[in-house]
Chain A
Amino acid sequence: MRYMTEFRDKELARGMAQRISSLLNGRYYTIMEVCGTHTMNIFRYGLKEILPANLRLLSGPGCPVCVTPTSYIDQAITLAHVPGVIICTFGDMLKVPGSITGDTANSLERLVLGNVKVVYSTADALSMAEANPDKKVVFLGVGFETTAPTIAASVLEADRKGLGNYFVLCAHKTMPQVMRSLVEDVGARRAVPLQGFICPAHVSTIIGSRPYEFLAGEFGIPCVIAGFEPLDILHGIHLLLGQIVRGEARVEIQYSRVARPEGNPRAQAVIKEVFEPCDAEWRGIGVVPMSGLGLRSRYRRFDAALHFSVPAPKTREPKGCLCGDMLRGVKTPPDCPLFGGTCTPSHPVGPCMVSSEGTCAAWFKYQGENK
């Protein structure tokens, strides 16, 4: 057993899709997979092709690269030009265009051979800081609750080791708060019409199922925490539709081999020790109250934004780009005039085309059909 390939069986997938179809019984439902990894795997494994047409799957705001505001990219690019600074980042962030114009590179990718390094883990960034005491290493802290404990752990280790040259440019975000913003009317913006949520696998592994309970209790929206493998996704959809058809609303865990109702308390404690909730700007969505994680005062010396006092320029979105609507699930890529023309994976305009987990990139790569 590898606990991976077994959950990709094509025949089982077809049978499960048929079961989903009969459960729908001709009715139309709209559900949202919040997480970008779900979106990507739905396309990669061709799930939309075997699922019935009367089930509409919306992609949500769970792609960290996509929801990172342009101003953050601009800050990172500005920092990359500060002498003696090494930027460490996950590879996903490289291609995102910032809004700085003129002679400076407008994405981090162009600076990779210089002082921008792609790392697999915060551990690599820490080693780099230790190996280069005369440099200042800045880790681009982007991601959700899955990644936050690994970054918090690196801050704790840097603290323990007394490393004075390790910093984090913080832009962490948390999922439940942004999910609330999708189902609530905010000013003129109406709630997204959907009947259920497929909740992220690994965010939920960390935070557990309880933080989603308000969605079921307060809004009557059923939720299922599903694994990322194709059979997990189909099983999750079946459970979710079961709830919808029966008129129930609760938070179920399909990914029970890993995720537990209480989550991972140790990871939660590490996050809580280092970070505190703060308001955060989501690209295309705006500021969502208490949906971000900022460093607590006793760890502020690791805050790159404070240490280098880089200004956060005002975000300017590219003209005509519909990524904001895409991230809320109210538009699909073919609705966007730039999609596939001006905006392609090799020349992305908006963030949803940049990240491999972005809705537009997934549609483009897998010949997005019209569901």
Chain B
Amino acid sequence: MCLGVPMKVVELDPPVGELGGLRCKINLSLLDSVSVGDYVIVHAGYAIERLDEKVARKTLQFMSTLSSPTPDTTGFKP
């Protein structure tokens, strides 16, 4: 029940989010100053938080490192 999906904000008045070509009305009242182009996590019609794209890319990059058989750079070894 706590599922939330990342949507890109494509319109603000009224707020509309987009995911994979699908658009739906979203409520932004739980967030401060959202701009068009921002990614937000939408749960039950409400955007509950922003998604930081830079951090997302860093996390993915780190996951690749973690997945590779060469030693990782996390500072701890198995």
Contact = CB atoms under 8 A, between A and B. Distances in A.
A63 B59 contact: no
B7 to A, nearest CB: 9
Interface residues of B, number: 42
Interface in A26-82: 35-37, 62-65
Interface in A206-245: 206, 228, 231, 235, 238, 242, 245
Q: Looking at B49, B60, B76, which has the most chain A CB atoms within 10 Å of its CB?
A: B49
B5 A4 contact: yes
A201 B45 contact: no
B67 A143 contact: no
A245 B64 CA distance: 22
A237 B72 CA distance: 16
Interface in B19-78: 19-20, 25, 27, 29-32, 39, 41, 43-46, 48-53, 55-57, 59-60, 62-64, 66-69, 72, 74, 76, 78
Interface residues of A, number: 63
B45 to A, nearest CB: 3
Contacts of A11: 67
B2 A264 contact: no
A191 interface: no
B30 A267 contact: yes
Contacts of B1: 36-37, 63-65, 90, 92, 142-144, 146-147, 355, 357
Given A2-B6, A144-B2, A235-B59, A16 B43 contact: no
B53 A1 contact: yes
Given A121-B44, A264-B31, A12 B63 contact: yes
B2 A266 contact: no
Given A153-B27, A228-B3, A235-B63, A3 B56 contact: yes
A3 B53 CA distance: 8
A15 interface: yes
A287 interface: no
B4 A12 contact: no
A149 interface: yes
Contacts of B72: 19
A160 to B, nearest CB: 11
B15 to A, nearest CB: 11
A120 interface: yes
Interface in A1-21: 1-4, 6-7, 11-16, 18-19
Nearest to A246: B76
Contacts of B60: 6-7, 231
Q: Looking at A22, A124, A146, A266, which has the most chain B CB atoms within 10 Å of its CB?
A: A146
Interface stretch (A128-136, A252-260, A317-325, A341-349): A252-260
Interface string B8-19: 000000000001
Nearest to A235: B63
B52 A121 contact: no
Given A1-B56, A147-B2, A203-B2, A258 B66 contact: no
21 contacts: A1-B53, A3-B39, A12-B64, A12-B67, A16-B63, A36-B2, A37-B2, A64-B1, A121-B46, A122-B44, A123-B27, A150-B43, A150-B45, A202-B43, A228-B3, A235-B62, A242-B76, A257-B59, A264-B30, A266-B32, A267-B48
Interface of A: 1-4, 6-7, 11-16, 18-19, 22-23, 25, 35-37, 62-65, 90, 92, 120-124, 142-144, 146-147, 149-150, 153, 200-203, 205-206, 228, 231, 235, 238, 242, 245-246, 254, 256-259, 264, 266-267, 270, 355, 357
Interface of B: 1-6, 19-20, 25, 27, 29-32, 39, 41, 43-46, 48-53, 55-57, 59-60, 62-64, 66-69, 72, 74, 76, 78
Given A3-B56, A35-B2, A65-B1, 17 more contacts: A16-B63, A37-B3, A90-B1, A92-B1, A123-B27, A143-B1, A144-B1, A146-B4, A150-B30, A153-B30, A202-B3, A202-B4, A235-B62, A242-B76, A256-B55, A257-B59, A258-B51
A-B residue pairs, 10 tightest by C-beta: A15-B67, A121-B45, A257-B56, A22-B78, A3-B6, A146-B2, A257-B55, A23-B78, A12-B67, A150-B46
